[in-house]
């Protein structure tokens, strides 16, 4: 169950990171509220998962999922340019996250 919560928390990290960028310095209410709620839920899930998983592994997986999804979303929406190298590096992060899961 800790791994499922950790994965959901990683997805929520991408949500709050994206909302933070769209909040324009907390001047837009909906992205700001999305940021705060996403951040709280993401951190709570990470904390819950860390009760059963080692801190380093849990944090690396959480960040890896969040970072990969944030960049992928930005490329899909056109907020960030797509490049093959970015895709290769994102896949490398995903492979590392999978590797950490397999080792645990």
How does pLDDT run across 79-92, given as a tens digit for each residue?
A: 999 999 999 999 99
- Percent pLDDT > 70 in the chain is 100
Which pLDDT score is estimated for 78? 96
**98 alpha carbon, distance to own chain's centre:** 14
Q: Is the pLDDT of residue 74 over 90?
A: yes
Which pLDDT score is estimated for 73? 97
Q: Is the pLDDT of residue 48 over 90?
A: yes
CA proximity to 48, closest of 9, 101, 19: 9
Cα–Cα distances in angstroms (integers) from residue 104 to residues 11, 82, 83, in the given order: 20, 33, 32
The position carrying tokens 């991408």 is: 14
- Cα–Cα distance measured from residue 40 to residue 56, given in angstroms and rounded to the nearest whole number: 20
Which pLDDT score is estimated for 53? 97
């Amino acid at each position: 169950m800790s791994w499922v919560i950790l994965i959901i928390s990683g997805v929520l990290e991408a949500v709050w990171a994206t909302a933070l960028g769209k909040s324009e310095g907390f001047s837009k209410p909906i992205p700001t509220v999305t940021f705060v709620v996403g951040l709280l839920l993401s951190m709570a899930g990470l904390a819950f998962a860390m009760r059963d998983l080692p801190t380093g592994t849990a944090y690396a997986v959480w960040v890896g999922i969040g970072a990969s999804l944030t960049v992928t979303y930005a490329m899909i929406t056109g907020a960030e340019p797509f490049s093959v190298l970015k895709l290769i590096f994102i896949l490398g992060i995903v492979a590392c996250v999978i590797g950490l899961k397999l080792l645990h």
